[in-house]
Chains A and B, each alone.
Chain A
Amino acid sequence: CSGSKSSNSSAKKSAGKPQQGGDLVVGSIGEPTLFNSLYSTDDASTDIENMLYSFLTKTDEKLNVKLSLAESIKELDGGLAYDVKIKKGVKFHDGKELTADDVVFTYSVPLSKDYKGERGSTYEMLKSVEKKGDYEVLFKLKYKDGNFYNNALDSTAILPKHILGNVPIADLEENEFNRKKPIGSGPFKFKEWKQGQYIKLEANDDYFEGRPYLDTVTYKVIPDANAAVAQLQAGDINFFNVPATDYKTAEKFNNLKIVTDLALSYVYIGWNEKNELFKDKKVRQALTTALDRESIVSQVLDGDGEVAYIPESPLSWNYPKDIDVPKFEYNEKKAKQMLAEAGWKDTNGDGILDKDGKKFSFTLKTNQGNKVREDIAVVVQEQLKKIGIEVKTQIVEWSALVEQMNPPNWDFDAMVMGWSLSTFPDQYDIFHSSQIKKGLNYVWYKNAEADKLMKDAKSISDRKQYSKEYEQIYQKIAEDQPYTFLYYPNNHMAMPENLEGYKYHPKRDLYNIEKWWLAK
């Protein structure tokens, strides 16, 4: 069977000296699409790109930006330009040196009129990129935006100009390079992609931060989660992000250990303020107060998560230190009272609250195939029934649901949903009122003060100041309750018992894989 099955199950804690060798077999539900970060948008492709290519910066496990390919980065013109010096002697997998030309080439692609990829918004603020020396590049921005330094630099895989330079940009996406023979300068080299089966990578001896300890990485595609867990137990894969429903089973498997930590995401109920029912802030606050989030976490999730109060992960540096935002803790009586204050009373004695002859009744939607969310919808239905609100639940196929909630439809009353957070916190896209008509503000949230704060935050590059600004934003959002924030879910990473050097990263499952090693 697979080469890396750990023969020695009694791996001692002794970190010892890193040993070279072995194959890590990573299991993935999704199959990658192509290996070019200017076009790919799925997690599986990103996983592979992070091994194949190098990036100017890297966001570490604490979500801090660290230099990677860049030797130094200087902010100029108060954040309107960045001067980046890159490391010398970095080599692509075909032996050619990586220089400023390659960086300029890569970043020029999305600026071109012919670029038709879907990553355009990442580079929206970028005006130009030019070569200043063999190892120096100058980026100029149209406007200040923290997303450039924090997002664009660490998510753009540097492509080899000597291979792709002559390809017309309109044809770049379909070029064979992306799928058949990607050449990067990252810790691992591309060996083979057997469609529907696996991707094989091997160590790059000339990696500029030193050869990885692992000889090979096999990225195996296993479309069915149950089958993946069986393969984990049989040792056919040995690294896998185990679904929450299965991790208790996986804990009992031999030769494996499981690292559990918060994922960089949260689950919420969005209240559509376009609907009269949810226009009143008081009502939304009452709804949150009527929901027992602690018991949702302990009952539905079996304790596998953490109650959320704001749209920011506790893992982030931007999470307010001493959090004292309004929490609206569970209190049935108070919820009823708050609704009464907002004018909702049961005047006709049918057990359902009413106001001006209208019943408090709505439909709660969620996506099909997510068992936890389906369960939550039912629990919410039960809990709101207790205070006289009638909830109908509806489970909708994913594409159909996205279509319903997207502009210009906004066809939902309330929905159980989740957001995966970016490593750089920015709530503008989701909560700014300019994002209602064409954006992700599906719930029609509007708060003029919050709007201004979110806009201003965009031009702050100092992280301390940024956090201060965001503390106020989170205060406002928590007070207004456009969402009822439910919880932060956990990740469960299963890996060989003798895997050393592993660091949990909330966003990148294979972060720092070049430093992992298997103790013998």
Chain B
Amino acid sequence: MAAYIIRRTLMSIPILLGITILSFVIMKAAPGDPMTLMMDPKISQADREQFIEKYGLNDPQYVQYLKWLGNMVQGDFGTSIVRKGTPVSELIMARLPNTLLLMLVSTILALMISIPFGVLSAKRPYSKIDYGITFTSFIGLAIPNFWFGLILIMVLSVNLGWFPTGGVETLNTEFNIFDRIHHLILPAFVLATADMAGLTRYTRSNMLDVLNQDYIRTARAKGFKENRVLFKHGLRNALLPVITIFGLMIPSFIGGSVVVEQIFTWPGLGKLFVDSAFQRDYPVIMAMTVISAVLVVVGNLIADILYAIVDPRIEY
């Protein structure tokens, strides 16, 4: 197992390199540069040139990339252009924990809700419960994140006052774990909905497949309790494809969090990513790309490791 993890980690290096090269080229191909969005329109030509010089934007692109890569490998992501010399690492470290927390909680939430519902659906296919769950899942899939989030804020926060309207904690208070959880519920739930719906559907259909297998019939014939048949014999096998899907879903968690963070004023990476893209803040965009890419690669690695846990036949 350890050898496998090391091998996979080494294999991900060329993948990450490829991602950064591609991102760099695409980013540079976008029209405009960080200067076009600087607020003071009276910037003189001399100031402009000085600025371009300062950030090395005059160099050929491959030189710019190699310089960036060299610094990045040494852990230096450079300084933000638009945010006037703020170190990129500082910008990111102030936000990354919030994004990771939101992603983690919403992932757990999605799994905790969708797997039991999927099993329940499969247990009595074409029953009222099944139709109810199917119907709800499709609504979950169809609802746009930002709209659902705003509706929840309007109804549950503004009108009923049950939840805060946004942020990670109440202003002007000391750290309080319950307050933090209170703030986390709505954004995590909204972020989880779309994936919840998908995962429920996958779990259901895989469960149905498995439950029709001979060994399930054998298990039932042996007189095992239904729950044991469902969860020990059925679910474990049904989960294998779900894990694959789940690994593939991790990038969508990152993308989805951009919108949810914005709506819930969640101080995560999302807003920074969007702003930097619009403002062509190259160093920040590149750093964010690396982080997302690493998250995706790590996510897939975790999915593969989970395989081995769920399926004893698989050995690395």
Contacts and interface: CB of A to CB of B under 8 A. Distances in A.
B171 A198 contact: yes
Contacts of B12: none
Contacts of B85: 34, 39, 173-174
B308 to A, nearest CB: 38
Given A121-B40, A124-B44, A402-B36, 9 more contacts: A41-B38, A43-B39, A120-B47, A223-B265, A223-B275, A230-B165, A231-B166, A234-B157, A404-B31
Contacts of B280: 399
Interface string A221-258: 11110110011011010000000000000000000000
A406 interface: yes
A2 interface: yes
Name B's interface SS: loop
B232 to A, nearest CB: 45
B86 A121 contact: no
B158 A234 contact: yes
Nearest to A172: B85
B31 A400 contact: yes
A231 B272 CA distance: 21
A120 B50 CA distance: 11
Of residues A40, A223, A398, which shows the largest number of chain B Cβ atoms within 10 Å of its Cβ?
Answer: A223
A2 B264 contact: no
Contact of A120 (B44, B170, B279): B44
Nearest to B31: A400
A75 interface: no
Given A179-B86, A230-B154, A195 B170 contact: no
29 contacts: A3-B171, A3-B172, A33-B86, A41-B38, A118-B43, A121-B40, A121-B43, A122-B42, A174-B79, A195-B91, A196-B268, A196-B271, A220-B265, A222-B265, A224-B263, A226-B150, A227-B262, A230-B154, A230-B166, A231-B165, A236-B171, A397-B278, A398-B37, A399-B37, A400-B31, A402-B32, A403-B36, A404-B31, A440-B41
Contact of B262 (A3, A121, A223, A233): A223
A205 interface: no
Closest A-B pairs by Cβ, 6 of them? A196-B267, A399-B32, A174-B85, A195-B94, A41-B39, A402-B36
A23 interface: yes
B164 interface: yes
Interface in B115-165: 150, 153-154, 157-158, 161, 164-165
Interface string A136-168: 000000000000000000000000000000000
B30 to A, nearest CB: 7
A392 interface: no
B222 interface: no
A39 B82 CA distance: 11
A25 B172 CA distance: 11
A33 B83 contact: yes
B30 A399 contact: yes
Interface string A200-223: 000000000000000000101111
A448 interface: no
A2 B83 CA distance: 29
A489 to B, nearest CB: 18
A132 interface: no
Given A198-B171, A218-B171, A230-B154, A236 B47 contact: no
- Which of B32, B90, B154 has most A Cβ within 10 Å? B32
A357 to B, nearest CB: 33
B47 A118 contact: yes
B251 interface: no
B183 to A, nearest CB: 11
B83 A400 contact: no
Contact of B95 (A174, A196, A231): A196
Contacts of B212: none
A230 B153 contact: yes
Nearest to A25: B171
B279 A2 contact: no
Given A196-B94, A196-B272, A231-B166, A118 B38 contact: yes
B279 A399 contact: yes
Q: How large is the interface on A (under 10, 10 to 19, 20 to 34, 35 or more residues)?
A: 35 or more
A194 interface: yes
Contact of A116 (B39, B54, B161, B264): B54
Contact of B271 (A198, A223, A233): A223
Contact of A118 (B33, B51, B83, B164): B51
Interface of A: 1-3, 23, 25, 33-34, 39-43, 116, 118-122, 124, 173-174, 178-179, 194-198, 218, 220-224, 226-227, 230-231, 233-234, 236, 397-400, 402-404, 406, 429, 438, 440
A168 to B, nearest CB: 14
A227 B84 contact: no
B176 interface: no
A203 B91 CA distance: 28
B45 interface: yes
B247 interface: no
A426 to B, nearest CB: 10
Contact of A33 (B50, B82, B265, B272): B82
Contact of A398 (B84, B86, B172, B278): B278
Nearest to B98: A196
A399 B40 contact: no
Nearest to A170: B54
Contacts of A118: 38, 40, 43, 47, 51
B110 interface: no
A230 B157 contact: yes
B207 interface: no
Nearest to B32: A399
Q: Identify which of B42, B161, B267, B275 gathers the most chain A CB atoms within 10 Å of its CB.
A: B42
B36 A399 contact: yes
Nearest to B44: A121
B168 interface: yes
Interface in B79-112: 79, 82-86, 90-91, 94-95, 98
A399 B31 contact: yes
A429 B42 contact: yes
B299 interface: no
A116 B44 contact: no
B271 to A, nearest CB: 5
Interface in B28-65: 30-33, 36-47, 50-51, 54
Contacts of B42: 121-122, 429, 440
A230 B158 contact: yes
Contacts of B54: 116
A399 B39 contact: no
Contacts of A233: 158
A40 B84 contact: yes
* Interface-central residue, B33, B44, B98, B170, by most chain A CB under 10 Å: B44
Residue from B79, B165, B168 having most chain A Cβ neighbours under 10 A: B165
A83 to B, nearest CB: 27
Contact of B278 (A119, A218, A399): A399
Q: Which of A178, A198, A222 counts the most B-chain CB atoms under 10 A from its CB?
A: A222
A236 B42 CA distance: 37
Contacts of A227: 150, 153, 165-166, 262-265
